Amino acid sequence: MSYEVPVVHTVEDMRAFVHARRAAGERIGLVPTMGALHAGHLSLVEEARRHADRVITTIFVNPTQFGPTEDFSRYPRTLAADCEKLASVSADLVFAPAVEEMYPEGFCTTVMLEGPAKADLEDRFRPTHFAGVATVVAKLLNQAQADIAVFGEKDYQQLLVIRHLARDLDIGTCILAGPTLRDPDGLAMSSRNIYLSAEDRARAPRLYRALSEAARRIGEGEVVGHVMGEAHEAIVGAGFDIDYVEARHADTLARVARRLEGPMRILAAARLGATRLIDNVAVPNT
């Protein structure tokens, strides 16, 4: 008989699961997602399994992190297929709440952010996004009271925002990073990749190639501004409309002018047609 992941839809039922597992002396891991799962998400579940006895995956398309012109209504919702994929990696529970469960009538609290959330990257183009992310993640961490939670490095600015959130609000959950999973040609896996036309899908890996080349050159000591200028030209030449492509301090997202100013990360967001891709790569230490 094939394994089916149990699904609960209320905070009460999720907490009952956590309480029972803790009574048995087990550690709890949490992997928050918006569904439309792919191999990258499953790798986060597998990473959580390395640090916990039981893994809860949340599936919730969070309306508060979408701007008024973004794709909330058409964001893919594939709960049955997601549960089948989670069964393949032996996830222990799916928490799939309705919007009314997460934001009941009269809900009026939002997390306010500074630091990495105000780095003039994603926040420049999606000014309400991280407040929505931080609010829902704070709720999920509080609801599950997990020992560890895993978030993907592909959303690097988001990862730093969540780490600061947990630290600043004294949330006991340890925030871990899962490495970006890529298709064989280098494109970072994303639920939104399904929106790419065949022509754009063929061009999409050139974003990662440009970022990787820039990271290599900066790591070898070339001038940051010069390298980033050429990376910008390469990405535009590949047919992208760029929102940003920048080298930043890997821990704070502060602007950096020289390699010696600290660990660095190159972050980018760019569009092919109607599809917006984000990616980032670490500058190697040499």
Catalytic residues: 41
The annotation status of 41 as a binding-site residue, yes or no, is yes
Would the annotation count 189 as a binding residue? yes
- The answer to whether 40 is a known ligand-binding residue is yes
The answer to whether 35 is annotated as binding is yes
- Residue 190 labelled as part of a binding site: yes
- Residue 212 marked in a binding site: no
Query: Does residue 157 have a known ligand-binding role?
Result: no
To the question of whether residue 153 is assigned a binding role by annotation, the answer is: yes
The one-letter code for the residue type at 284 is P
43 is in an annotated binding site: no
Q: β-strand 54-59 against 28-33: which pairing, if any?
A: parallel
Report the binding-site residues for beta-alanine: 65
Q: Which residues are annotated as a binding site for ATP?
A: 34-41, 152-155, 181, 189-192
Q: Which residues make up each annotated binding site?
A: 34-41, 65, 152-155, 158, 181, 189-192
Binding site membership for (R)-pantoate: which residues? 65, 158
